[in-house]
């Protein structure tokens, strides 16, 4: 029936792949929904995902995060993930069309690596801003409920981010199975994930995120990252997903 495939079938396939890769509900141009959409980034057989622009000027987070690091990080590193994600989507579409999945391990890894990298970076940019503010509203209540206090959250988030082994991320997430907030360490992009959680706040602790300014002082970088968290965006995101429930 391959010749009868419609765009709707392709969309379903991409949606399932997105969920499998573990970035359901994440920000940016990735849409994990299985319903057909005309959103850019989900059209056509292969990948047409686009690099979202930085939501502020490249020097807007100075002096905490410098313009050069942000520019290279966004324009080179994040762009590379988008390119790799599209390549994987295209290769998987071709493999499905050809009925040849002999390279499925390779392309599944590529899909997860670049797809997760793209989604986490889109969220990382959105998480930061020049006028950060404080956690408020339901997010604040949930943080106090699940961590004891905002200070206790911050201590754990910094400790977890600093202690990521090698390259990876510190992640604040809404865990929908029991309906609470959790702080996770993600090694690389795609390992040690709880599938189905919706990340709310992520801190990139790959060296390229801080090395030009902070060299090996990751702890100093993470502490300064805390200063530029855009809590309004984190709250909005939490409000969007807080009703999500798995099983209890």
Contacting residues toward Mn ion, per CB under 5 A? 204, 206
Phi first, then psi: give them for residue 147, nearest 5 degrees: -120, -10
Name which of 52, 49, 116 is nearest 82 in CA terms: 49
CA angle at 73 for the pair 28 and 124, rounded to the nearest 5°: 40
Q: Which residue number, 206 or 221, has a Cβ lying nearer to Mn ion?
A: 206
Work out how close the CB of 204 gets to Mn ion at its nearest, in angstroms, rounded to a whole number: 4
Q: How far is the CB of 167 from Mn ion (least distance, A)?
A: 9
Both tokens assigned to 155: 């201590």
* Residue found by looking up tokens 């850019």 in the block: 40
DSSP helix, strand, coil percent of the chain (3-state; round to 5): 50, 10, 40
Closest approach, Cβ 188 to Mn ion, in A, equals: 11
| CB nearer to Mn ion: pick between 80 and 196 | 80
Q: Which is nearer to Mn ion, 126 or 204 (CB)?
A: 204
Kindly tell me which of 23 and 147 has the beta carbon lying closer to Mn ion: 23
As measured in angstroms, the least distance from the Cβ of 62 to Mn ion is: 18
- Residues contacting 47, CB < 8 A, separation 6+: 85, 86, 87, 88, 89, 90
Nearer to Mn ion, 147 or 214 (CB): 214
User: b/e string for 126-159 if b means 16 or more Cβ within 10 A?
Assistant: bbbbeebeebeeebbebbeebbeeeeebbebbbe
Nearest distance from C-beta of residue 96 to Mn ion, angstroms: 30
Residue nearest to Mn ion (CB): 204
């Amino acid at each position: 029936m391959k010749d009868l495939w419609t765009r709707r079938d392709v969309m379903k396939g991409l949606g399932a792949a997105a969920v499998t890769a573990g970035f359901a509900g994440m920000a940016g141009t990735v849409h994990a929904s299985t319903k057909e959409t005309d959103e850019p980034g989900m059209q056509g057989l292969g990948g047409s995902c686009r690099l979202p622009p930085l939501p502020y000027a490249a020097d807007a987070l100075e002096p905490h995060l410098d313009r050069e690091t942000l520019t290279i990080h966004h324009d080179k590193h994040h762009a590379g993930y988008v390119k790799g994600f599209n390549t994987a989507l295209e290769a998987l579409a071709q493999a499905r069309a050809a009925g040849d999945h002999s390279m499925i391990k390779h392309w599944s890894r590529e899909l997860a690596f670049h797809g997760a990298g793209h989604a986490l970076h889109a969220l990382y940019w959105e998480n930061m801003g020049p006028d950060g503010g404080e956690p408020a509203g339901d997010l604040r209540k949930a943080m106090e409920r699940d961590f004891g206090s905002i200070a206790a959250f911050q201590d754990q988030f910094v400790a977890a981010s600093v202690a990521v082994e090698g390259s990876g991320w510190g992640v604040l997430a809404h865990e929908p199975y029991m309906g609470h907030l959790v702080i996770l360490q993600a090694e690389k992009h795609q390992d040690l994930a709880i599938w189905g959680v919706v990340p709310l706040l992520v801190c990139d602790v790959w060296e390229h995120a801080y090395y030009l300014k902070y060299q090996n002082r990751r702890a100093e970088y993470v502490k300064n990252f805390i200063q530029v968290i855009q809590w309004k965006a984190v709250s909005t995101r939490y409000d969007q997903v807080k009703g999500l429930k798995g099983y209890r």
